[in-house]
Amino acid sequence: MKKITIAMIAVALSISSAMLAASDGHGGQPGAFREVKLGGRPAAMGGAFTAVAYGGIGWLYNPAGISQLRKTDVALSYRVMDLDRRLGYAAITFPAREGASIGLSWIHAGTASLEARDVQGNLISGEDIASNQNLVGVTFGKTFIPQLAFGGRVFYVQHNIGNINAYSVGADFGFQGRFDLSKTAFGGIVPSAQVGLVVENIGATYKWTTSNYWQTLGQEQGSTFDEKFPVNYRLGGALVRPGFGILAADVEMNSASIVKTHFGAEYQLYQELVLRTGLDDLHPTFGFGLYKEIDKFALFIDLAYLMDKVGEGDDFLMSLDLMF
């Protein structure tokens, strides 16, 4: 009889999360796909983007960062990774009144189908356990004074695996400080600095119920268990010289006691070309960005090359931003 045990489902959940975020040290935790780098610019800078948080992907790294936008921004990216993983996002951010902005975003993550087996471990022909995750969020950021901005995001996240669904709601909060150093002793070299602080996954918990799945197999069995998202904390700083470049650094830690560091640099070689490099938890990253103005539109194309971390192969990432 075709049956998949509760233990097998639990293992499948862990494997799907681990596969998706294997290279980022968060595999096996709920919401692990959120830790996989998104956006060509921050990925090329090693993920050191909490203090910078500008552009169409800024909402992901610090919701306060969207308050910097003065034009509407549409951002897109789709990333196909080794181990049959895929990850993408779409977002639109609108400037509002008095230094405020509002954004809508969607992240999709998926992995290859996992094999279904019966209680004896035999492969069930024609039965696969696909894994798909989606997160939809609304972000608000506002600059209260020129040096200080706050932001928050409320999100709905859903995970489907083997026709079993779990969902949750949660929130992220961020702070961004911007400082004018032009009148200091270092102002001629670094005229401005930024800091950022973010707390993520507040209140998010998956509640899994397998009873419905067992009913499709004609069995009156099942179980309910919770998966609490680890709360993630990130602190970052950046030294900024407009028209020249950026040096940035982040440190992050979550409630599961995982600590990671990120370092990044950006150099504006020409007005239309920016070079980037970084260390994502000591793993090298590289990339560049292209900028082109067309009438009232500004197009940003950002590419990142991420070196192999755990034997899963090198990775390329491209994202597009259209500002108007």
Would you say residue 178 lies in a domain? Answer: yes
CATH number of 233's domain? 2.40.160.60
Q: Model confidence over 44-81: pLDDT tens digits?
A: 999 999 999 998 888 999 999 999 999 999 999 988 77
Supply 253's token pair. Answer: 């830690």
- Which of 90-104, 123-137, 209-223, 243-257 has the lowest average pLDDT? 209-223
Q: Model confidence over 217-248: pLDDT tens digits?
A: 555 566 778 889 999 999 999 999 999 999 99
Would you say residue 1 lies in a domain? Answer: no
3-state secondary structure of 294: strand
Supply 35's token pair. Answer: 């830790």
Band (6; pLDDT cuts 50, 70, 90) = very low
- Is the per-residue pLDDT at 201 higher than 50? yes
Q: What pLDDT score does 86 carry? A: 84
Q: What pLDDT score does 115 carry? A: 66
Would you say residue 270 lies in a domain? Answer: yes
Would you say residue 286 lies in a domain? Answer: yes
Q: Model confidence over 260-310: pLDDT tens digits?
A: 999 999 999 999 999 999 999 999 999 999 999 988 899 999 999 988 665
Task: Give the alpha-carbon dihedral of 50, 55, 60, 62, to 10 degrees.
Answer: 40
Show the domain range for 34. 6-323
Would you say residue 254 lies in a domain? Answer: yes
Would you say residue 161 lies in a domain? Answer: yes
Would you say residue 73 lies in a domain? Answer: yes
Q: How far apart are CA 221 and CA 243, in angstroms?
A: 63
Domains in the chain, number: 1
Q: How far apart are CA 169 and CA 137, in angstroms?
A: 9
Q: What pLDDT score does 244 carry? A: 95
Would you say residue 223 lies in a domain? Answer: yes
Cα–Cα distances in Å, from 48 out to 53, 169, 267, 278, 283? Answer: 9, 26, 15, 8, 13
Q: What pLDDT score does 14 carry? A: 45
**128 vs 280, residue with greater confidence:** 280
Q: What pLDDT score does 118 carry? A: 55
Supply 177's token pair. Answer: 């400080």
* Nearest residue to 75 via CA among 324, 303, 254, 321: 321
- In one-letter notation, the amino acid at residue 288 is F
